[in-house]
């Protein structure tokens, strides 16, 4: 994979109707399409947490996608901070 930008990382917490609506699986699909590595999981408090890394432009696209989520989700709040990128380029769903 030839990246067009610098590698970066993103840590995000998503609040709203984001569990039980395919949010995690859709996030995995979106991140893999963008060529990002990382993971996504449900939190006990109803939020979804994810960490992604890769090309800065791809991370920006993922951040925009997270503002909406999949069709049946409702995103009320999205908190994103920069994170240290890791080396693995697989994006996975964690339980």
Catalytic residue among 7, 17, 42, 63: 42
In this predicted model, what pLDDT tens digit does every residue of 57-70 receive, in sequence order? 999 999 999 999 99
Active site residue 77: no
Of 85, 25, 93, which Cα lies nearest the Cα of 58? Answer: 85
- pTM of the full predicted structure? 0.91
Apex CA 43: angle with CA 69 and CA 21, to 5°? Answer: 35
Residue 6: per-residue pLDDT:
80
Q: Would you report the helix, strand and coil content of the chain in percent, each value rounded to 5? A: 25, 40, 35
Rounded Cα gap, residues 26 and 29, in angstroms? 5
Handedness of CA 66, 26, 87, 1 (dihedral sign): negative
Residue 30: per-residue pLDDT:
98
In this predicted model, what pLDDT tens digit does every residue of 33-65 receive, in sequence order? 999 999 999 999 999 999 999 999 999 999 999
DSSP reduced 3-state for 86:
coil
Active site residue 17: no
């Amino acid at each position: 994979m030839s990246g067009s930008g610098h590698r970066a990382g993103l840590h995000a917490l998503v609040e709203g109707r984001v569990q039980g609506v395919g949010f995690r699986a859709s996030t995995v699909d979106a991140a893999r399409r963008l060529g990002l590595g990382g993971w996504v999981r449900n939190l006990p408090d109803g939020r979804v947490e994810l960490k992604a890394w890769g090309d800065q432009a791809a991370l920006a696209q993922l951040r925009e996608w997270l503002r909406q989520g999949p069709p049946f989700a409702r995103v009320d709040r999205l908190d994103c901070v920069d994170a240290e990128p890791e080396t693995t380029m697989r994006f996975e769903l964690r339980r």
